[in-house]
Amino acid sequence: MTPAASLDRLFSPRAVAVVGASANVDSAGHDYVRALREFGFTGAVHPVNPRADEIAGYRASPDLRAIGAPVDLVICCIPAEGAPAVVDACGAIGAPFLHLFTGRLSETGEAAAAALEDEIARRARASGVRLLGPNGLGVYHPAARIAFRPDLPRAAGGLALLSQSGNNAVEAVLRGAARGLRFGKVASYGNGLDLTPAELLAHLADDPATEAIGAYVEGVADGRAFFESLRRAATRKPVIVYKAGRSAAGARAAASHTAALAGEAAVWSGMLRQAGAIEARTQEQLLDLLTAASLLARPRGRRAAVAGGGGGRGVQSADACAEAGLALPPLPASVRARVAERAPALADWVGNPVDQSILAGSGLSANGLLADMAASGAYDLAIANVGEEWFLGRPRAEERLRRACARLREAANAAPVPVAVVLGATEAPEAWQRALIDSVRAEFVEAGLAVFPTVERAAFALGALAPRERAP
Amino acid sequence: MTPAASLDRLFSPRAVAVVGASANVDSAGHDYVRALREFGFTGAVHPVNPRADEIAGYRASPDLRAIGAPVDLVICCIPAEGAPAVVDACGAIGAPFLHLFTGRLSETGEAAAAALEDEIARRARASGVRLLGPNGLGVYHPAARIAFRPDLPRAAGGLALLSQSGNNAVEAVLRGAARGLRFGKVASYGNGLDLTPAELLAHLADDPATEAIGAYVEGVADGRAFFESLRRAATRKPVIVYKAGRSAAGARAAASHTAALAGEAAVWSGMLRQAGAIEARTQEQLLDLLTAASLLARPRGRRAAVAGGGGGRGVQSADACAEAGLALPPLPASVRARVAERAPALADWVGNPVDQSILAGSGLSANGLLADMAASGAYDLAIANVGEEWFLGRPRAEERLRRACARLREAANAAPVPVAVVLGATEAPEAWQRALIDSVRAEFVEAGLAVFPTVERAAFALGALAPRERAP
């Protein structure tokens, strides 16, 4: 196994060649080249195409050997039959990394394709070329100005992602961006023929720029190595694993997608827990957990303060916290005294969760109480329900919702404990209402806050990140 | 117990009085009056306020007795201390229904408030006035042009909703509208002091305009009556119950919200199953299940066809179906033959779920295969993943996504089995992308299709609506 540190040139190549580069703007062979240009890649870019002089503004070479300059990463987009020769050429020019976007190999279930994949692996071992893929989208690393799609965000961050599926990686990056997640190193590794998730994880565990790691995994060939790598990574930073292909039907789909051997769901859950990783059971949970890991300080305990929304939302919130293993201690004496001072009739009624609707006319607000609770020392984390539906029905709805959200942003940013904001999905009857919700969500994200569309998702993510033992 | 049919005048009153009507545009006492005007209520409207001549364009009366004309429904917004006298006045003028928006009664936990609530109940029984509430938002019934907020949708439909929480009722109506749900009779009944969920359910079970019933319940005083009413209703139409206050913390919150005795979660789940109702465990599931019940034909069995999205989404979809108890039979010979004709290399590879990414360049499309599968007789229901992230990265993204969605709308509307569309939450980095997703979702909704933000939610809703026994 190559030492993990030596994957640096895969994620941060100084020169990239794209075999199968194309002038067809609707092909992968074009996208990889164009992404390098549009991201402002500062190294050399070598489109390889025997029938073109120039692609996306770069001079094309007829084949890898004609480049005549060092190449750290070769990206291969030609059909599978041509891949073994590309492996050989990488060896000949001394390129250390080959990413095979090329698919239609073992995942097709055909014996001839599987044999071809074996041949690719054999030649790579013989020539010392390390392979990423086949059947994967490859590398997105905005700090190094490399991306597997031109439309991905330019801003770089500390989240890493390993993904057996290319589409799931794209989805995580795009949807994550809308929630304020900034990714650093992302690798879509497809069939994982040579570079395994275990090796990639080892690299990310050691990488000082990586603060938290997410993974979408369908199956691994070497479970022991994966477990060891995961355990080591999880001692250093949060590692969140979404294991798909849990069911028999899912395992069949995984085999035809990335030739993965999916393994048993219960075994995986136990293994993840034992390794100290956090398990996500859906793509949505993967993003929710990355959101919490990336944007919230890790809670010091499991005592939750919840405020905002009406009484029904309060009951929901309490159930959600209980089901996420979070405690809901009552208001401490200091906060209760403050309530008694301003609104004596409420002192024995207001609880945790704080029901916003009973505060009307009292001079107390849910945001104010949330701030008091967060500062009281009685809680380790807080959840703030915006309760936007109430505002939508009031006069001057937009002005009031924006003002309440501005106050919540201040309270959340000043709080000494992590605060998750619950603002619903963009679902409202009128287009202006949806645009307003979209806009206030963007303002929370801009302020660096973690926003969740439901209280259940907020409680789940905080519960998963909080220490397992209740604080004393 | 009043026979259920006699609740007609509660939901469709011929004349309404609002005690505590107010010229303050930011008060409930104004909202109820204004909603009647804005909805075009055709009966008489009597604001009651001793210090106003006119409110929201209606002539005000100093008290109920001064109205001098029959009133079917009195809405009371004054503080709790005045409520007993309003009950008496309703009796005196022969008003059959009193809705008490008025709260701060037993839910405060104070003995004096609880005694006042008992007094209200006693006087209502003595005078034969039926009470809705206290501490509830009351009635929304757009066909009768009555609403508890002026901003609710005017369009009427066949969904009914009972809700112990007012905010949850508003949230369901507003968010539901964005998903194409049209509500008929909605009752927010708060503490349920007199008119119980059991009675309201009995009315809705008999109501020919009600096609499906949703309920948000924190607790019921008479479990046996609720069970019997639920069982009877569930034999006639789908009934979906979201029971909140499942946890100890949730039960405490429920007590301070609507004075509800929440009961044990496991007992509730068993009771709902035995009654033939469908259990939702979150507000989101309540809406997902109402969406399926309202917009999709009930599946005849549990065999699912799934298409669209990449391979990772296929694996996810398979897990989601398996966890929802749905089977994923392989492509039938007829569909496989069609694939073999167009794309021989794919014939033994394409499975169910259909991985859209392997179809590129084959002349086959996920929408086309979905249509073939739906028409083949081998499936009882279908799930279509739009896979919008792929389109967002292609040239002419908007045009292509709109075209694919238009084809999917056609395929879904022509299919002989129910088709759930999966289009993600409005999460994308750029505002134009979010606006585009919002717009194509609105087009699906306009076409009468059921849209779910994740495949897990689509599979859950279809699985819950499908017959429990697998089709032969």
pLDDT on residue B168: 97
For residues A145-167, average pLDDT: 97
Q: Which two tokens stand for residue A87?
A: 């492996």
**Rounded-to-integer distance, Cα B46 and Cα B27, Å:** 17
- Strand order of the β-sheet with B15-19 is B44-48, B15-19, B73-76, B97-100, B130-132
Distance CA A273, CA B222 (A): 43
Q: What is the mean pLDDT of chain B?
A: 95
> Which chain A residues have a beta carbon less than 8 Å from that of B104?
345, 358
Structure-block tokens of residue B333: 């010979």
Per-residue pLDDT of A267-313, as tens digits, reads 999 999 999 999 999 999 999 999 999 999 999 999 999 999 999 99
Nearest to A108 among B25, B319, B349 (CB): B349
> Which CATH fold topology does A298-465 show?
Rossmann fold (3.40.50)
pLDDT digits (tens, 9 = 90+) for B239-275: 999 999 999 999 999 999 988 877 788 899 999 999 9
pLDDT value of position B235? 97
Confidence band for A471, pLDDT divided at 50, 70 and 90: very low
pLDDT for A261 equals 78
Cβ contact B171–A424 (<8 Å): yes
The verdict on A118 touching B (C-beta cutoff 8 Å) is no
Q: Which residues of A touch B345 (CB under 8 A)?
A: 108
Residue B328: how many CB atoms within 10 A of its CB? 23
Partners of A453 on chain B (C-beta within 8 Å) are: 425
Cα angle value A249/B470/A269 (rounded, 5°): 35
Q: A1-132 in CATH: which number?
A: 3.40.50.720
Q: Kindly list the residues from chain B whose CB atom is less than 8 angstroms away from the CB atom of residue A433.
A: 174
What pLDDT digit, counting tens, does each position of A346-357 carry? 999 999 999 999
- CA B221 – CA B136 distance, rounded (Å): 16
B245 contacts in A (CB within 8 Å)? 315, 318-319
Instruction: Judge whether B187 and B162 are in contact, CB under 8 Å.
Output: yes
Partner-chain contact B167 A321, CB within 8 Å: no
The pLDDT, as a whole number, for residue B468 is 84
Burial A205-222 (b: 16+ CB within 10 A, else e): bebeebbbbbbbbbbbee
Asked if residue B98 has pLDDT above 80, the reply is yes
- Is the per-residue pLDDT at B5 higher than 70? no
Q: Please state, in angstroms and rounded to a whole number, the distance separating the CA atoms of residues B418 and B411.
A: 11
The set of residues, in sequence order, having a beta carbon less than 8 Å from that of A267 and lying 6+ positions away, is none
What pLDDT sits at residue A164? 97
For the stretch A446-461, pLDDT in tens is 999 999 999 999 999 9
Q: What share of chain A is helix, strand, coil (3-state, %, to 5)?
A: 45, 15, 35
DSSP states along A16-28? EEEET--S-TTSH
User: Whole-angstrom Cα distance, residue B305 to residue B378?
Assistant: 9
CB A214 within 8 A of CB A278: no
Quick check: B392 contacting A, CB < 8 Å?
yes
Q: Cα torsion for A191, A196, A197, A201, to the nearest 10°?
A: -150
- Non-local (6+) Cβ contacts of B65 within 8 A are B89, B92, B93
Tell me the percentage of chain A whose pLDDT exceeds 90: 93
DSSP bridge partners of B8: none
Mean pLDDT on B444-465: 98
Q: In what order do the strands lie in the sheet with A159-163?
A: A138-140, A183-188, A159-163, A212-217, A239-243, A278-280
Asked if B3 has any chain A CB less than 8 Å from its own CB, the reply is no
CB contact under 8 A, A257 and B319: no
The mean pLDDT of chain A is: 95
* Pairing relationship of beta strands A419-422 and B304-307 according to DSSP bridges: unpaired
Residue A70 scores a pLDDT above 60: yes
Where helices occur in A94-159 by DSSP H, the ranges are 111-127
Q: How many residues does chain B have?
A: 472
Contact of B325 with chain A, judged by CB distance below 8 Å, is answered with no
Q: Where are the beta strands (DSSP E) in A89-244?
A: 97-100, 130-132, 138-140, 159-163, 183-188, 212-217, 239-243
DSSP string, B86-100: HHHHHHHHT--EEEE
Closest in A107, A108, A328 to B249, CB measured: A328
Rounded Cα gap, residues B65 and A20, in angstroms: 87
Phi, psi values for residue B76, rounded to 5°: -110, 120
Identify all chain A residues contacting B170, using CB atoms and an 8 Å cutoff.
Answer: 389-390, 393
Asked, as a colleague might, if the bond just before B467 is cis with ω within 30 of 0, I would say no
Residue A136 has pLDDT above 70, yes or no: yes
Q: Is A179 on the interface with B (CB under 8 A)?
A: yes
Whether residue B310 lies within 8 A of chain A, CB to CB, comes out as yes
Q: Is B383 on the interface with A (CB under 8 A)?
A: no
- Selection from B295, B270, B463 nearest residue B381 by Cα: B463
Average of per-residue pLDDT across B447-457 = 98
For range B203-227, the mean pLDDT: 96
Closest chain B residue to the Cα of A109, Cα to Cα = B349
Question: Cβ of B252 and A353 within 8 Å?
Answer: no
CB contact under 8 A, A175 and B427: yes
Give me the pLDDT at residue A263, please.
Answer: 76
Distance CA B442, CA B178 (A): 8
pLDDT band at residue A113, thresholds of 50, 70 and 90?
Answer: very high
**A472 pLDDT exceeds 70?**
no
Tell me the mean pLDDT in the region B155-159. Answer: 97
Residues of chain B with C-beta less than 8 angstroms from the C-beta of A258: 311
Fold classification of B153-295 is Rossmann fold (3.40.50)
Closest CA to B31 of B61, B75, B1, B66: B75
Mutant choice from B31, B151, B216, B315 vs A, greatest count of A C-beta within 10 A: B315
- How far is Cα A113 from Cα A106, in angstroms, rounded to an integer? 6
Q: At what angle do helices B197-206 and B223-236 cross, to 10 degrees?
A: 20
A293: its two tokens: 């890991």
Q: Which residue has the higher pLDDT, B425 or B370?
A: B370
Q: Of B178-182, B211-215, B287-291, B429-433, which gets the smallest average pLDDT?
A: B429-433
What distance in Å separates the CA atoms of residue B177 and residue A389, rounded to the nearest whole number? 13
Contact criterion met (CB < 8 Å) for B427 and A174:
yes
CB B280 within 8 A of CB B161: no
Q: Which residue of B has its CA nearest to A360?
A: B27
Which chain A residue has its CA at the smallest distance from B389's CA?
A171
Q: Give the nearest partner residue to A389 out of B171, B345, B426, using CB atoms.
A: B171
Region B198-211: mean pLDDT is 97
Q: Does A47 touch chain B (CB under 8 A)?
A: no
Which chain A residues touch B150 with a CB distance below 8 Å?
Answer: 393
Of A174, A310, A328, the CB nearest to B166: A310
CA A391/CA A401 separation, integer angstroms: 6
| Beta carbons of B146 and B120 less than 8 angstroms apart | no
pLDDT category at B366 given cuts 50, 70, 90 is very high
Given a cut of 80, whether residue A255 has pLDDT beyond it is yes
Q: Which of these, A217, A150, A143, A215, lies nearest to A183 by C-alpha position?
A: A143
Structure token digits, residue B153: 């949708």
Which has the closest alpha carbon to B194: B125, B248, B281? B125
CA B265 from centroid of its chain's CA atoms: 22
Going by pLDDT thresholds of 50, 70 and 90, the confidence category of residue A426 is confident
**Strand (E) positions, B218-268?**
239-243
Distance (Å) from the C-alpha of residue A106 to the closest C-alpha of chain B? Answer: 11
Cβ contact (<8 Å) for A393 and B177? no
Residue A379 contacts B, CB cutoff 8 Å = no
In the A/B pair of chains, how many CB contacts fall below 8 A? 262
Residue of A229 and B257 predicted with greater confidence: A229
Nearest C-alpha in A relative to B327: A249
Equal fold, B1-133 vs B298-465: yes
**Chain B residue whose CA is closest to A102:** B358
Q: Is B351 on the interface with A (CB under 8 A)?
A: yes
User: Using CA atoms, how far apart are residues A304 and A63, in angstroms rounded to an integer?
Assistant: 61
**Interface check B199 vs A, CB under 8 A:** no
| Residue-level pLDDT at B454 | 98
Alpha-carbon gap: B343 to the closest alpha carbon of chain A (Å): 13
Residue B456, chain A, CB below 8 Å: the answer is yes
Q: What is the pLDDT of residues A9-54, one digit of tens each?
A: 999 999 999 999 999 999 999 999 999 999 999 999 999 999 999 9
What mean pLDDT do residues B284-300 have?
A: 98
Instruction: Decide if pLDDT at B361 tops 90.
Output: no
Domain ranges of chain A: 1-132, 153-295, 298-465
Instruction: Determine the Cα–Cα distance for residues A437 and A424; give it in Å rounded to an integer.
Output: 8
Classified by CATH at the fold level, domain B1-133 comes out as Rossmann fold (3.40.50)
Residue A1: pLDDT band (50, 70, 90) is very low
Lateral strand order in the sheet of B381-385: B304-307, B381-385, B419-422, B450-452
Contacts of B353 in chain A (CB under 8 A): 253
Contact with chain A for residue B112, Cβ under 8 A: no
Report whether pLDDT(A91) > 90.
yes
Pairing of strands B212-217, A54-55: unpaired
Contact B257 A322 (CB under 8 A): no
Q: Which phi and psi (to 5°) does residue B112 adopt?
A: -65, -40
3-state secondary structure string, A234-249? HHHCCEEEEECCCCHH
